[in-house]
Structure 1
Amino acid sequence: MMMSKHVPIPPEWQADFLLKQFSLSHRLGYSLSGVVLVFLPIFTILDATLVSYADGELIWKHILFRLPAVILAITFLLLHHKKDPGFWAYPLLLTLNLSIVGMMAAMFVLHYSEQGGHLLYITQGLTLVIITVATATVYGARDLALIYGLPLTAVIAFIVFSGSPFPDNPIHLAFIPAAIGIGVVIATMLYQEHQRTFIASQQLEHSALTDALTGLPNRRSMQTDLQAEWSRAKRDEQCFAVLMADLDRFKAVNDQHGHEVGDEVLTILATRFTNTLRGGDRVARWGGEEFLLLIPNATEESAMAVAEKVRRAVAEPPFATSAGNLAVTLSLGVALHRQTESIDEVISRADKALYRAKQEGRNRAVLAGD
């Protein structure tokens, strides 16, 4: 069976992938708990009716072997229905899987010395469980190292050290290692599929929120950031600043040198933005040659200082393009958010300040007034 090449999760997405795996743990554990509570009673009844026991003690041993899995399944369902958002689901799912394999391994050990159909029946059950739990793993073979390792190590140790005779027809025992191999393949493929699905989803979301040319966040992404910053500012009674930035005479660059050179200018501009801004400041391509900068926790002085720093970084040195070095300048309008303002209103004031900067000669930053 062929397995596709492993695709690692990029470092910047690791935290999101971890949350995705915890969510998967909730779903898998909920489903597995339901299966346990439905099928274990059925198998218990089948044990009591189809298999004759020599004494009542053996029946109680089988019930006790099943009890941990039942308790863990009930616990999982109770926590799930309480909608507890904690990270309990993954370790509890791991323990539930371990208890299921351990249950069948214990029954296998109990009946290993028998030379009859009951050992075959238990071996088939162990084989089925080994494959089934592989479909309920979150991290593939890494989970199975524990889920398979502990119970099956105990089984091997029992066979080696107990002195029990080897079964007359041991061929069915070969199904156990075969099931382990199949389980590892299934778990690995499912884990890799989880990774591929997650990466594809992240790439789709990234492309929906990123400007394809500059690599900066796009207008949609910045609108989300603006809403979050507006809510935070209202809650904490703080201010943020919006800077509207526009390239001066950009149409002339396109007309004289072509749109490819214009695209080069926009790409270089994006790099200068990201290299100049502070860690918490954000910039997005708002449309065409217009960019919006969001400055959290701002005052008029700090916002104007950022605007001047950006303006100087754009003006010098010239932009190195395929058409040669081009002198490029930037005009900016700066508006500090007021507590009574909506997002659209503060953007409108920044836009009016940008218009004033253009009227007053370009290559400057102007603070919005009333």
Structure 2
Amino acid sequence: MHFLIFVLISLNFVFSSQLEELINFALKNNTKLKSFVYLEKANTFRSLFMKSLPNPEIRFTFRNFDTEVPMVREENPMSGYAITFMQRYTLPVKREKSSEIFKNRAKEVKVKREIYERELIKNVKILYYDFLYTYEKERILKEIKEDLYILLENLKEKYAQNKALLSDILMVKTEIIKVEEELKNNEALREKIKGEIYSLIGGKFDLRPGRLSLFKFPQNFSEDESVYVRLLFEELNTLRKELERAKVEHYPDLNLLAEYVVRTGNPDLFSLGIGVSLPVWYEKRERFLVLEAKERIKAKMKELNFTKNFVKERFLGLKRSYNITLKALKTLEEEIKKKEQEIEALFLAYGYEKVDVREIIRAYRDLWKLKIQRAFTLKKLNEISAEAEALI
């Protein structure tokens, strides 16, 4: 008994260890996951850009040439060469609020990265459970093949004693061929799954055979802490910052001007100027930016409430599904024990020629289906757990 417990613990450790290695490999090598780092930096750089003033403008102008002699000359005291420097000065409050928008978008990218990471882990787990399921199925199919060969040898002995039919031997051989074909299909499926795993994790990984082990359903779920809800909170914060920015859009901007004019035979001229934008069209222009931002916030609030409820119900639905499937697994275990006892009884009766070999094969088929269904149910339970973990 102690030895059996030690073996089960060892199998679970190997299974968990390889899965953890696989996940770490995926987190390190998945190229799309890396892209979020660049997107976050891009928004950070944009926030710094929004703090700065627009580039100044410099102009060189030939001024007031007359039509008779198109050049600067003493006879035309209004003519000259002008160098003009202009700078648009956006108010600091506008630049700061624009910068805050992109700072918060960088936070959005962080949460999006976490969402993708959770989805990546979920998909890696599901594919890995599929991979291990092929080994569970292979083990069961080999057991089936071994049982059929034992039954075949038994039939051959009885056939030599004229106690069995040739058709019974041929029927068992046909079953063996079916199992061998299923083993080949199972191996092909495993290679397909391995290819999907490699493409998802971003490289080759030394996948080793293993046994499926049951993972518990996650606990302590809060919809407010869900990564999907947190993303909407950040998006809502961004919209609020856009609203704050829209509220100052009508604030006047300044235009600064400095000009130097060179004149031939006359004193040079120097000019300074300042211009201010006037919000005379606020009611017909900037006001609509504020209204737009408010409506976007209302829409995002509705989406947030919907997502909170959706995530909550999704988690509870997965929990109910897990509990129902767990009961189905226990029922399968009981059915397998009953079927094994039935087969023992059939073999005993077969020894006394009280049952037909076809009844034994039918019972074996039921047992094999139950065992494969048990492995599939165990895989399904782990997939449900993985989906629930991605919501947390």
Instruction: Tell me if both proteins adopt one fold, taking TM over 0.5 as the criterion.
Output: no
Work out which structure has the larger RCO, using CA pairs closer than 8 Å and 6 or more positions apart in sequence: 2
Structure whose residues are more often helix by fraction: 2
